[in-house]
Amino acid sequence: MIIAKPLPYNRDELEHNLSAAHFDYHYDKHYLGYVNKLNALVKGTIYCDMSLTDIVVNSYRENDHLVYNNASQVWNHDFYWQSIGKTQVCPDELVTLLNRDFGNISNFAQKFIQAGVTLFGSGWIWLVQDQESKKLSILQTKNADNPLVLGKIPLLTLDVWEHAYYIDYKNDRLHYLNQLVTDNLNWLFATNNLG
């Protein structure tokens, strides 16, 4: 059984960019809905005793789209809650890599925001690391897709499904992305995910 992870902050801690009402809707309705549906889908199946990561990878390999989509959405949201937080300084280790692969943090931020704005429909934007070259890159994934199935190491993500920003930003995805990239990326979390 997959257990919903609690938010790593109080619902009003990011109030300047994401309201408590946002989390009431995004976490309680969407995220918990995916958790409950996934648990119903895997009950009594080969997935029932697997970790969430193993369910994501194995259901993708088995072309079990219903399980994969729900498992990946749970995994992506768990990762998203950790990818955002209060404003912080980017650790030197990650600064060095961002400078190497994007020129500087400002260039990364612009490209990351652009990736989110240009992703048509619903999905996710990711800062990922290649397992072999260790190079950082930005990845867009559609719908529930997850970098794990593409052999990438996820470092951080932003949700660009409309439900992620509609409560606070209506249909202004750009404003949502600007606010979170400027104020709320959890650089320490990203650094801890480096391979």
The runs of H, that is alpha helices, within 84-125 are: 92-102, 105-118
pLDDT at 158: 98
- Find tokens 């072309």 and name the residue: 63
pLDDT at 47: 98
Residue type for 80, please? Y
Record the pTM.
0.97
- Map out the domains of the chain as residue ranges: 20-83, 92-192
Q: pLDDT class for 1, splitting at 50, 70, 90? A: very high
The tens digit of pLDDT for each residue in 119-171 reads: 999 999 999 999 999 999 999 999 999 999 999 999 999 999 999 999 999 99
Q: pLDDT class for 87, splitting at 50, 70, 90? A: confident
CATH number for the domain running over 20-83: 1.10.287.990
Q: pLDDT class for 84, splitting at 50, 70, 90? A: very high
Dihedral Cα 3, 63, 154, 120, nearest 10 deg: -110
Find the angle CA(86)-CA(88)-CA(94) to the nearest 5 degrees.
130
* Residues in Cβ contact with 127 at an 8 Å cutoff, skipping those fewer than 6 apart: 108, 112, 136, 137, 138, 154, 155, 156, 157, 190
pLDDT at 11: 96
The tens digit of pLDDT for each residue in 5-61 reads: 999 999 999 999 999 999 999 999 999 999 999 999 999 999 999 999 999 999 999
Which CATH superfamily does the domain covering 92-192 fall into? Iron/manganese superoxide dismutase, C-terminal domain (3.55.40.20)
Q: Is the dihedral of CA 13, 14, 19, 21 positive or negative?
A: negative
Please report, for residues 63, 77, 97, 105, the alpha-carbon distance to residue 92 in angstroms, rounded to integers and kept in the order given: 40, 27, 9, 11
Q: Is 5 helix (H, G, I), strand (E, B) or coil?
A: coil
